[in-house]
Structure 1
Amino acid sequence: MKSEKMLSDLKFNSFLDFNLLFEQWEKLSDQENPSTCLYQDYLKRMKDYPDLSKFPIEREDVLKEKNKLGFSLILSSLFPLSGQEENRVLGLSKPFDYNPIYCTPAFKKEFLTPEGEVKIPYNLNEERIFFHKMLHVYALILDQLYGIKINEIYPLVFKVPSSEGFTRHYQIQINSQFVKVVPKIPLPEIKRKSEFCSSNKPNHYDVEKWMELLPLEMFEFHGFILMEAQDLTVAQSVATLNEAVLNQEQVTAESFMEIVEDSVKSLLGKPGIKVGLAVLQTINGRMVMTESRLAYSYLIKHLCGEGCEKSYQAVLELLSTVEKPIFLNDLDVAREKLPLGVKLNEMGVKEIILYPLRHNGDLVGVLEVCAFQEQTFDPLMLVTLDYLAPSLSLALNRQAEVLDQKIKSIIRKNFTAIHPVVEWKFDEIALEYVLEEEEGQNPEIKPIVFNDVYPLYAAVDVKNSSVERNNAIHDDFQVQLALARKVLQKAKEVHFLPLLDRLIDQIEEFEKRINFMLVSDEEVKITDFFHFDLEPAFNYLKNNFEDLEGDVNTYFEALDPKLGVVSTNRKSFEQSLAKINQVIGNYLEKEEAKVQQMFPHYFEKFKTDGIEYNIYIGQSLVKDQKYDPLYLKNLRLWQLQTLIETVHLVARQKNELEHPLDVTQMILAHSTPISISFRLDERKFDVEGAYNIRYEIIKKRIDKALVKGTRERLNQPGKIAIVYAQEKEAREYLDFIKYLQNKDLLTKEVEELELEEMQGVYGMKAIRVTVKERIHENPEIFSKLIAERKEG
């Protein structure tokens, strides 16, 4: 293959041209067919933009202000409007120039550098991308000019790191239907596809030979290509393999490898192959294997019997040095490179694919695929195995377990803490799996998705928890620094030790700095000072001067025996926070159990510096009951009532807390149904689809929301904030608020606010209401009322 420099310098005779598209409009336009009259309108309107009809079109012409509307018409015909264009990963460029003239924001974010050039993914190199590009180019040449079609070209799999915290995998589909190959000189005669294959490797596409037979300089490429990336993260075949490996400890090595082998056979379409997994682990810079992992490797299991330590080491060295996918189809020639080549021939192995599996850049294993007949493998299968590599890498890193064959075992092993409301769905999936298995099929775990469910979200958050935690640490440091200074000053008065002045000076410096601001770096420095400077000095004073022993003991007795620092205020904060979480969590669980009886719904609660929870309700979540929108309204009113009660619960606890804390209450109103799916890799429900992800983004942003035009936080103690985007959501909650005001639970004041834009979130509004204090919870109000009655 050519060097990377030559690859990057390679130029195509590529010209941007929209005339093929316009010809397509001409064919589709039909005055008698109303559904295609749009194309007539397109053609008429394009007359106003002659720059876009000329040949060739310059990039600058497309982007000129006067041509923008015309270019928009072209795009609208290629990418039909669906309201989700920003979330689709789309691009348009000159033929086989992957730096797009137009792309969606999602494409730009995932695939382009700040300069607008395509990024090389970390799992692919320039040579690999070039090979794939040449497959597309010559497939088009052969098809249009020779009527020869080559085998299907699988899209490249791109690894792209994501916000939420994991790696996404995209396949980019290249649509070249609007590209025309124009020969510049008479072409040589080619009758068979085999003329493009290597002479000694019939299944190997030899790109260099293609470029020699049909140099790219012989052709011009007119038109444009469309690129669309599809997310493969939750592809079903990968999910099934994930499930098998994530549970591997529950079954024998043989059963586990049967599932892996079936997945590889299915993907490659080759039933007569053998598959192995060499699970590699690095300890102290040395690659080793455990006994349990040896059974997974087909090569080690068959090449190394008892006492074959030398052979074992040879295989280990071979596998641990696999840097990129290797396709070996001539083992006689490879014998010089492989010390075990003779044994491989004895096993009957004719071809091998060795595919390295990496997790976060580290080699975690090697996938071994062995064939016993020549010409079984195609080099393009190396690209195909990209579909399985991410799953296997993640699975090997996690050391998971294989699926059980029975219904309840599958649920127990593959899913965690299934909510009773949706357990019926898991039962159906598991039952279908077992029945297919009994029929001798190779079943797969089907996606578990619930469509058109309504989400409810609320959060009770401790106000300024980070600040309160820092203040507690600050107060503890002040106490400990003062105790230490007292010991040092006494020691200085009775003993001449110059180092004591230095330690006192450091303490005074720390006191000044933490009074200004306590940051995490400062916290580490002070803690290190306590452990590595003061502690040795105090032990010296205690052991050598009897008159200081009592003072030093007093200092050490004030420290937490586990942490080695004063932690009185920190413990008070943590205990107070835990108390609030416990009170609110217990109350929500009790009340949620009651409202479950109204209509079954999915409920999940999270404990952070406070409590937040999700509720999903809808017809798809239940099997034998009829959903009615009335249940949703009841849940929303219940949600508001429970937040009112949490204000009173915290108020009652406040006097019992060692560290006084306030809480804020917030609801996110969302009236549009969404879809949720069970994510097999993380074993939890999450929103499904790009449009619904916005709901999750809003949830993560609004806890820090500010009132527009101010620096005031939306969430305030004693108040409930209801965030919304649509006016109909506000109207419903305003009705609830009026009802609760009549019940004397809320004050009469209702604040209707606009919120500042947040990252990725804009146009949000809020309603804020104040919870009315109960007399018995505020002695001052109670005393005032008694006094007023006496005066009356």
Structure 2
Amino acid sequence: MKSEKLIHDLKINSFLDFNLLFDQWEKLSDKLNPNTCLYHDLLTRMKAYPGLSKFPVEREDVTKDENKLGFGLILSSLFPLSGQEENRILGMSKPFDYNPIYCTPAFKKEFLTADGEVKVPFNLDQEKIFFHKMLQIYSLILDQLYRIKINEIYPLVFKIPSSEGFTRHYQIQMNTQFVKVVPKVPLPDIRSKEEFCTSNQPNHYDVEKWMELLPLDLFEFHGFILMEAQDLTVAQSVATLNEAVLNQEQVSPEAFMEIVEDSVKSLLAKSGLKVGLAVLQTINGRMVMTESRLAYSYLIKQLCGEGCESSYQAVLELLSNVEKPIFLNDLDVAREKLPLGVKINEMGVKEIILYPLKHNGDLVGVLEVCSFEEQTFDPMMLVTLDYLAPSLSLALNRQAEVLDQKIKSIIRKNFTAIHPVVEWKFDEIALDYVLEEEEGGNPEMKQIVFNEVYPLYAAVDVKNSSIERNNAIHDDFQIQLTLAKEVLAKAKGVHFLPLLDRLIDQIEQFEKRINLILVSEEEVKITDFFHFELEPAFNYLKENFIDLKEPVKAYFDALDPKLGVVNQHRKAFEQSLAKINQAIGTFLDQEETKVQKMFPHYFEKFKTDGIEYNIYIGQSLVKDEKFDPLYLKNLRLWQLQNLIETVHLVESQKQQLEHPLEVTQLILAHSNPIAISFRLDERKFDVEGAYNIRYEIIKKRIDKALVKGTRERLNQPGKIAIVYSQQKEAREYLDFIEFLQNKDLLTKDVEELELEEMQGVYGMKAIRVTVKEKAQENPEIFSKLIAEGEKG
């Protein structure tokens, strides 16, 4: 309301009157009808109590000895005797005066103070109560005097401190059927009735406007109000807790636990309890529990002070094994189940309820309810707590999700995309970081290293890709220079422009140079010539000589609109290269997904002018599985078979490529384990240690390796080259080769070669085998792999 003065100064002309009730008895009375003769009898008997039939009846009249029996008759007609009336929360008052003239013991206990004053609800202020009261008053005025009905007025919910020391929630129904509105003066004319009380919700009504148009001093209210309170403690406790769960991020742990404790006390109707929540969260098999994460707990916090590691572990072990609700009311006897019984007795705890909280079937925590008095709990309370369990489970699950989100945020911020096989390690590092941060420390990101892992490397490269790209650029330049020279020659034949001779001469010089060799510097010069000299000249010719408009337009139409140069051959090359990479990459991903099921391993691939990939496998990469060298051998054989399939895939589908390309296949065999670490600066894995770096150097050199004593490149189309440095590596692959020859996948030709020294690399050898031709593949396979690669 706009003014508090309205609340304090408002006077309601309210008078206690039972005549409306007597009139109703009169209407219902029929001394010949056994169902209604009671009302006739009541009317007859009430003649003996004229003090209750007068107007108005004063409060003290109902308590006078001569009227007590008569008032009892009135009450018995309103509250039929059932033997349970003492437990019902009932009251009667003057119209809109909530100080009762009569109430049941239960009403007095819950709503009146020791001095007989009405208790002030925790959750309602004076303004809200006043507003609700005005709605009730004006709904009667409008209904009885103007025949205007407003929307239903919903009862207020009162949060009342009970005499036992916990909170109860009540909804009080106000029965106004025995209230009559009596105008003291002629009724004011209310124009535009619809506008006066238009609203979809009662609390949207403009009560102040009503009070201005229809002041309450114009009316009297005769009769009485009946009040009945319904206990909503269970429903409201759950609703209050649900609201706290929804706003958990904005509520402090202390405030949240106050709500939880109050809800538990109200639900169990017990005061003096201590309530806690043991959050049980497991990440990678590790139970997460720190001092700051014990903020919700009572038992663990009390039992685990400094230097209580054994107690801490004992409590954790107990709580993590709670599958069903446990009621412990004799802790001396329960010591066998609860080794901490002595310490709990020292805390003064006499009885405990441990209620497991589960989310989607997983244990996320335990509700701890402790009593310091005996015979406080009974087994039925375990069932009562079922009402709170879903909300508490959701709250603890959200706690777990917040921690998980923090961990994932740390990983994304520091490590980018992480391969699923090693994600557990990043989770552990991020978890330690978050926990130390929560404890107020200044954490540093720990180094992530995997020792004793075996590397596998392979590359599928487009043969002479740089030469093929240069040839494509050369051919496009040749086309564009020829087109330009034709336009200039035509222009020279009909117009005298000395500049045209100079442009033609420049074109002829470029033609000579690119036929010898095309280097990047020459490429830049020609492109600049097209953009900054030819293009302005051609635009001039087009705009000033009508006979050159079409030839110039034909020239520009032949150019790529985005690049501004002829792009026929280069586009064909780039598209063919992209198709090969997409098909091989998709095929490799599909096959690698299958082999992951054999044993988890780290896999990463890179696109260059082909596809190359690294695989790392070893015990340190996995957490809950045991590595065996057999998996490594299996992976190497898979790698060799995979390259054979790649040869077949590309070879059989060459006809789909606009620019014919050939690919080469290469494997680097390395039998000694290495260490890899994650580099935060580059956000990728790299080898660790001086010896292991040599492995990386070899990878970077061998794609250009030459056969010793020749100028022949090791990598050749249709063949697979296996580079190695130790004889044991050669023996293993020769065994694989023999197996694949027997499968008719490789020819009988096996070349064992020595390689020329490379920068920083010497003493390397190689085995080279030829992939046997295969029957023509279904052309749709290649297209399907390309399409799937584009989706990915």
**TM-score after normalising by structure 2:** 0.47
Q: Greater CA radius of gyration, 1 or 2?
A: 2
**TM-score after normalising by structure 1:** 0.47
